[in-house]
Amino acid sequence: MDAKHAGASRAADTQDREIVITRAVDAPRELVWKAWTDPQHVVNWWGPKGFTSTIHEMDVRTGGAWRLTMHGPDGTDYPNESVFIEVVKPERIVYAHGGGRAGDPPALFEATWTFKAQGEKTELTMRMLFASAEARQQIVEKYRAVEGANQTFGRLADYLAVTRGATVTNGKAMPREREIVLTRIFNAPRELVFKAWIDPKQLARWWGPKGFTNPVCEVDARAGGAWRIVMRSPAGDEHPCVGVYREIVEPERLVFTNIATDKDGNPIIDGLTTVLFADEGGKTKVTLRTRGLAVMDYAVPYLAGMEMGWTQSLERLAEELAG
C-alpha cells in the first residue's frame, strides 16, 4: 500500500472515534497562538457560551501540566486535567485530557490543535481523538462536546476581534481602561506586610500570577525612586514592568506607577497603583486600587486579566508571609 492510501486508511480507522473542527480566524497566527497559550488570555474565551474558567496551572511545554475548572452557568464545576504531549510554537499543540463532571464518566481523549497561517488570518483546527467510538459518543451525549467546541471557537473569534480593535458579534467592545479594588486581611503585622512590598528579595517571591517567577526585581524604595520587575510565565515568556514611586508613607501607604512594556521597553499598558495598609489588631488589612490603560491595541485583552493576576499575587503574598 502506498503512502497516500495508507494515510487514507488511517483516517478511516479513526473517523468514528474523533471530533474535528476547523475554522478560519481573522487574526495572525502569532496572535492566535498567544491567545491560546497565555492563561491571562485563555480565561476570557475558553469554554461554551456562559461558562467561566479558573486556571490553576498552565505550563505550556512538552510534559507540562494544565489544570483548570470550568464553571457552568448553573454553577456546576467541570474539573479538567491535561498534560501537554507536544508543543511546537506556533504550529501545533497536543495534550492528553482527563477530568470531567463529578459522578459522570471521565472525559478522556487526546487533543491536537494546529495553527496554519493564511496571510493575516489563521486556519485553526481542533481534533479530539477518543479510545473508541463508544467513548466519543458518550462524551458527545454527556457534555454536548461538538456544540460546546463550536461555541468555544466562536468565543475565541470574538475575543481576537476585540484584540484587533474590531466589533464583536454581540456589539460589545472591551474598554481600553479598567480599574479594580481588592481588599484582603493578612495574618501578619502591618510593618511586616509593608516590607514585603518594598524588599526586592521578598517581592520577587510573590509578585505576579501563580506559576510566574521574577528573574529581575529591582527596587529603589523612596519617593521618586524607580522599580523594575521582569515576570517570566511558566511557558517562558517574559513580561517586563516598570514604574516610579510617587508616595511611600511607611507603613501606611504606597503609590506607584505601574507600566507594562514590550521587550524593547515600549509601554503597552500605563497604570497607577495605590496600596493602603491598616492595622487590624496585629493583622493587616490591605486595600489595593489599581488602574490600567491599554496604550497598544493588542494589550486591551490583558485588562480582563487584571483582577485574576492581582488576586493570585495577593494569595502568593499570604503564602510568603505565612512562611
- Closest residue by Cα to residue 194 from 317, 103, 63: 317
CA 201 to chain CA mean position, Å? 25
β-bridge partners, 126: 21, 113
CB atoms within 10 A of CB 21: 14
Per DSSP, 44 falls in state T
Which CATH number is 195's domain given?
Answer: 3.30.530.20
Q: Are residues 183 and 254 in the same domain?
A: yes
Does this model's pTM top 0.75? My answer is no
Could you tell me if residue 75 is inside a domain? yes
Q: How far apart are CA 226 and CA 240, in angstroms?
A: 14
pLDDT value, residue 72? 84
Q: How far apart are CA 103 and CA 239, in angstroms?
A: 40
pLDDT value, residue 239? 93
Per DSSP, 16 falls in state G
Low-confidence ranges of the chain (pLDDT < 50): 1, 3-11, 166-172
Per DSSP, 168 falls in state P
Say whether 235 sits in a helix, a strand or coil: coil
CB-facing half-sphere around the CA of 219: CA atoms within 13 A: 17
Could you tell me if residue 94 is inside a domain? yes
β-bridge partners, 99: 80
Q: Are residues 158 and 187 in the same domain?
A: no
Relative orientation angle of helices 29-37 and 145-163, to the nearest 10 degrees: 120
Q: Is 185:283 a contact under the CB 8 Å cutoff? A: yes
- Closest residue by Cα to residue 285 from 251, 255, 245, 246: 251
CB atoms within 10 A of CB 200: 18
User: Residue holding cell 496572535?
Assistant: 31
Q: Are residues 212 and 247 in the same domain?
A: yes
- Closest residue by Cα to residue 287 from 197, 203, 167: 197
- Write out the DSSP string of 186-220: ESS-HHHHHHHHH-HHHHHHH-SSTT-EEEEEEE-
Q: Are residues 83 and 109 in the same domain?
A: yes
Residue 195 sits in which domain range? 177-322
Which residue, 137, 163, 189, sits at the end of a domain? 163
pLDDT value, residue 3? 46
Q: Are residues 234 and 123 in the same domain?
A: no
Could you tell me if residue 2 is inside a domain? no
Looking only at the bridges linking them, the beta strands covering 52-58 and 253-261 are unpaired
Looking only at the bridges linking them, the beta strands covering 283-294 and 18-25 are unpaired
Q: Is 78:148 a contact under the CB 8 Å cutoff? A: no
Which residue, 104, 130, 163, sits at the end of a domain? 163
CA distances 321 to 174, 212, 228, 247, 316, Å, are 36, 18, 22, 23, 9
Number of structural domains (the chain) is: 2
pLDDT value, residue 10? 45
Q: Are residues 148 and 201 in the same domain?
A: no
Could you tell me if residue 148 is inside a domain? yes
pLDDT value, residue 8? 45
Q: Are residues 134 and 182 in the same domain?
A: no
